[in-house]
Structure 1
Amino acid sequence: MTQRAATILAALGGVANIVDIEPCTTRLRSEVRDASAVDVGALRAAGAHGVMISGHVVQVVIGPDVDVLASDLDDLL
């Protein structure tokens, strides 16, 4: 588990806000219960290159190390 994963999880609204989360190439694709609970600024401060929100789907552009981050997030969930 890394601090970065914990920070990103908190910025996505915490464990209770996550419906599903998975890595996709360079992005972390998440389905959240409440998109208004997502803190885009905190995601960017945690190293996200970009954040796209469409309805309940949040895509966080991480880069090539997204698989490692997703594994760390799985440990937290």
Structure 2
Amino acid sequence: MGPGGRDLNLMFDPDLRDFYCEQEPEAFAPVPGGWGRMGATRCNLTVVDEATLASALQAAHRLAAPKPKRRRGG
């Protein structure tokens, strides 16, 4: 979360970053530089609606959550 609590950064894959930035350009923007090219996205909390924020947080969490380990053998 940024200073003042008005924005936060989410980590998406580049396709998801583009989706949110295109759908809600007032609320989402790529983080400048290399992090943004890799999917880091700034969310402006002063303009994003609750449903969109919840969707973005869930999407970022799914991407960051550890993947279940496959069991060997069987």
* Fold shared by both chains (TM-score > 0.5): no
Structure with greater proportional strand content? 1
Q: Which of structures 1 and 2 has the bigger CA Rg?
A: 2
